[in-house]
Amino acid sequence: MVSKNQIKLITSLQQKKYRIINQMFFAEGVKVIQELLQSNFELEHLYTTQHDFEEVLGSKKSLIHENDLKKISALATPNSCLAVFKIPEEKTIIESGLIIALDDVRDPGNLGTILRLCDWFGVEQLICSKETVDIYNPKVVQATMGSISRVNVTYVDLVEYISQTKLAVFGTFMDGENIYKSNLPQEGIVIMGNEANGISQEIESMIKNRLSIPRFGNLQKAESLNVATATGIILSEFKRNQT
């Protein structure tokens, strides 16, 4: 059974406001929950419809009916389990190696995909502007496929942060230098912009290294690349000489 208060609490965690008040978030599905359990995320409570997760203490676990899972799930088709975790304290920024910084990325799927890309390409630090979608948004947690446990994510005033960093700052623009012909360093910050508006003017004025992903073909009418796919191409270019 899931009590009315528990249902109320868990569904409230779909909203950022209540995640902040309660300092909790939730994840759904065996894979994501297992990855979070194996990392340093502190479990508040696990709700499952199966006799699984033997590693979790009985007091932290409830066997519930599918109908109850439906009541607390954020998914149209609920998985077999949902776990509430404490939001960990934000760690300080790891200012070394390659860093991705997001200037108001709003789509949860894009943030989740970018986090998976950071994990794949060994990027340890993801910096997000305050207006970027919350990393503990259930749709983001779902889209990260567990990568959330392996990349340090920090929310900052991006203008302030960029204005004081000693690392080289990169961004992609239509008029930038061909990324395929640029000499890319192993260290630096790559800024990725908002889905509709790209990189904001204030941030753009602070970017010294303007790169460009060339378009190909005869027509060259493709308007833009999705921010997550562009991040993948850029990370691949920065890392390809390190194999």
Applying CB under 8 A, the residues found at the interface with a second copy are: 109, 113, 116-117, 119-124, 145-147, 150, 178, 180-181, 213-226, 228-233, 236-237, 239-243
Q: CB 142 → a second copy: shortest distance, Å?
A: 13
Closer CB to a second copy, 109 or 206, in the complex: 109
> Cβ 100 to a second copy, closest distance in Å?
13
Give the C-alpha separation, 111 to 109, whole Å: 6
DSSP structure class, residue 241: G
Nearer Cβ to a second copy, position 109 or 188?
109
Q: Quick one: 12 or 182, whose CB is closer to a second copy? A: 182
Least distance to a second copy, CB of residue 124, Å: 7
Whichever of 171 and 232 has its CB closer to a second copy, that residue is: 232
- Per the listing, tokens 């008040």 go with 21
Least distance (Å) between residue 223 CB and a second copy = 6
Asked if 194 and 106 count as a contact pair (C-beta separation under 8 A), the reply is: yes
Q: Please report the DSSP string for 13-69 in residue order.
A: TTSHHHHHHHTEEEEESHHHHHHHHHTTPPEEEEEESSS--TTS-GGGEEE--HHHH
| Tally of CB atoms within 10 A around 101 | 27
